[in-house]
């Protein structure tokens, strides 16, 4: 069985093709013929050492990368009740976070982190590690959901997403574009920022109500306040990290929520906490989500007939193509998701 794995923690050069053999199927297990994968910003950090490397989150190589994949069930164990051969499925980011609040015990079960990931022709996981893909999606589209979409969903829902709310999403990467799409389906008013006017135009086509170029307007939080008559937004999908957090808080209404999701500008930096205190803003850390959240999100995506925008697709068949997918993500010219596909 063809797979790719990182042999050393020294970046993309250490990615190699390998034949690791098909895993044995246990009674609870589901074997999936993988057809598509998507990359997340986190997948750049894991092999480059830019992601916290501790035993809980990322184990040492050799490591099969990626949390996100989709394909078709080809074999199920004797105790499997939820899946049958032929089902279209997607992987769960945390194999062991089925339901309820996050617990320390599940952190080591992140695919492509504490456990081998999905970048293989066939993947075996217990049935709790899979969800049925939304019926209207291709394998490529379903492969975009496990990390970025579930994260955006948890952030939106934890901040009580409802019709009429105002949501701010930063940038046009995977998490933010999916947040835009899902918030629009829920009837929210959505603002989104980008460094690119062309990407902002694409965001408007997906329903963004207002767009701000954060390069042209480094004081974008003021623009957000103007757009809300000085009130601020109900919630922010905060993917920027240290460099944007203070602005996100200032752009949030009294009593609103900032979902702390990303570290695109870095993990460390000074910020003034007074805005969060005086505006009684909730700062909530979000770590992807559970299988239960994934399933609930899929129902919403089916009702809204939403599919993630795929920027570019690369082939699983050649290591140069697979590395090309990583490089494309790193270049950050993408809008939405970067996908690898198997013919
Ligand atoms: N906590 C979690 O569970 C979780 C889950 C998923 C992702 N994340 C994190 O969330 C972040 C986004 O992940 P992703 O996979 O969506 O990344 P991605 O697809 O690689 O997004 C990259 C985009 O982010 C935007 N960006 C970069 N710097 C920015 C800034 N200063 N202000 C606003 N936007 C900026 C750029 O958009 P433009 O080109 O439009 O400017 C860039 O193209 C990453 O830090 C990732 O680690 C966290």
Question: Residue 108 is part of a domain; what is its CATH number?
Answer: 3.90.180.10
Claim to verify: residue 22 and residue 129 sit in the same structural domain: yes
Q: Closest ligand 1 atom to the C-alpha of 263? A: 45
Q: Does residue 301 sit within a domain?
A: no
pLDDT per residue over 85-144, tens digit each? 999 999 999 999 999 999 999 999 999 999 999 999 999 999 999 999 999 999 999 999
The answer to whether the beta carbons of residues 66 and 15 sit under 8 Å apart is no
Looking at the fold, whether 139 and 157 belong to one and the same domain comes out as: no
Pseudo-torsion of CA 79, 85, 91, 95, nearest 10°?
Answer: 10
Domain holding 180, by residue range, is: 149-285
Same-domain pairing of 155 and 140:
no
**Residue 333 near ligand 1, beta carbon < 6 Å:** no
Positive or negative CA dihedral for 194, 199, 204, 206?
negative
Q: Does any domain span residue 19?
A: yes
For ligand 1, the distance from its centroid to the CA atom of residue 237, given in whole angstroms, is: 10
Residue 298, in any domain of the structure: no
Please check whether residues 31 and 132 belong to one and the same domain: yes
Would you say the CB of residue 332 lies under 6 angstroms from ligand 1? Answer: yes
Q: Is the CB of 262 under 6 A from ligand 1?
A: yes
211 lines ligand 1 (CB under 6 A): no
Of all atoms in ligand 1, which is nearest to the CA of residue 175?
16
Residue 52 pLDDT more than 90? no
Are 140 and 10 part of one and the same domain? yes
Which of 190, 188, 191 has its CA nearest to residue 163?
188
Same domain for 332 and 273, yes or no, is no
Q: Is residue 203 in contact with ligand 1, taking CB distance under 6 Å?
A: no
Rounded average pLDDT over 149-156: 98
Residue 89 covered by a domain: yes
Do 210 and 316 sit in the same domain of this protein? Answer: no
Give yes or no: residues 239 and 319 share one domain. no
Q: Whose CA is nearest to atom 43 of ligand 1?
A: 332
287 lines ligand 1 (CB under 6 A): yes
Instruction: Kindly report the CATH number assigned to the domain that includes residue 271.
Output: 3.40.50.720
Residue 201 domain-assigned (yes or no): yes
Cβ–ligand 1 contact at 250 (below 6 Å): no
Query: Are 125 and 164 in the same domain?
Result: no
- In a domain, residue 302? The reply is no
Ligand 1 atom 18 nearest Cα: 173
DSSP string, 198-224: HHHHHHHHTT-SEEEETTT-TTHHHHH
Atom of ligand 1 nearest to the CA of 337: 19
pLDDT of residue 74: 98
Determine the Cα–Cα distance for residues 324 and 336; give it in Å rounded to an integer: 17
In a shared domain, residues 23 and 77: yes
Total count of domains within the chain: 2
Residue 267 lies in a domain: yes
127 within domain boundaries: yes
Ligand 1, residues 58, 211, 262: which to mutate, most atoms within 8 A of Cβ?
Answer: 262
Mean pLDDT of the chain: 96
C-beta 93 within 6 A of ligand 1 = no
Q: Which residue has the tokens 């949030």?
A: 252
pLDDT of residue 20: 86
Q: What is the mean pLDDT of residues 261-267?
A: 93
Domain co-membership, 42 together with 106: yes
> Do 116 and 234 lie in a common domain?
no
């Amino acid at each position: 069985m063809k797979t790719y794995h990182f042999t050393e923690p020294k970046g993309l050069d250490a990615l190699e093709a390998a034949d690791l053999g098909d895993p044995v199927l246990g009674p609870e297990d589901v074997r999936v013929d993988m057809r598509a994968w998507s990359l997340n910003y986190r997948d750049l950090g894991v092999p480059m050492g830019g992601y916290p490397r501790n035993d809980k989150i990322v184990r040492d190589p050799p490591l099969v990368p990626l949390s996100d994949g989709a394909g078709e069930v080809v074999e199920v164990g004797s105790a499997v009740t939820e899946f049958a051969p032929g089902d279209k499925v997607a992987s769960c980011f945390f194999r062991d976070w089925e339901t309820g609040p996050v617990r320390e015990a599940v952190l080591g079960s992140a695919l492509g982190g504490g456990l081998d990931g999905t970048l293989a022709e066939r993947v075996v996981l217990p049935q709790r590690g899979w969800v049925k893909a939304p019926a209207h999606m291709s394998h490529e589209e379903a492969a975009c959901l496990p990390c970025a979409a579930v994260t955006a969903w948890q952030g939106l829902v934890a901040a009580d997403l409802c019709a009429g709310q105002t949501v701010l999403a930063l940038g046009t990467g995977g998490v933010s574009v999916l947040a835009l799409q899902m918030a629009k389906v829920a009837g929210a008013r959505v603002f989104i920022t980008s460094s690119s006017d062309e990407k902002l135009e694409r965001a408007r086509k997906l329903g963004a109500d207002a767009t701000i170029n954060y390069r042209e307007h480094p004081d974008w939080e003021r623009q957000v306040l103007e757009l809300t008559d000085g009130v601020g937004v109900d919630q922010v999908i905060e993917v920027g990290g240290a460099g944007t957090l203070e602005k996100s808080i200032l752009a949030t209404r009294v009593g609103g929520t900032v979902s702390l999701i990303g570290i695109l500008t870095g993990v460390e930096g000074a910020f003034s906490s007074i805005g969060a205190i005086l505006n009684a803003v909730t700062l909530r850390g979000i770590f992807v989500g559970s299988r239960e959240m994934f399933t609930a999100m899929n129902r919403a995506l089916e009702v809204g007939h939403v599919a993630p925008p795929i920027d570019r697709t690369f082939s699983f068949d050649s290591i140069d193509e697979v590395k090309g997918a990583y490089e494309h993500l790193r270049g950050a010219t993408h809008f939405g998701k970067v996908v690898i596909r198997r013919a």
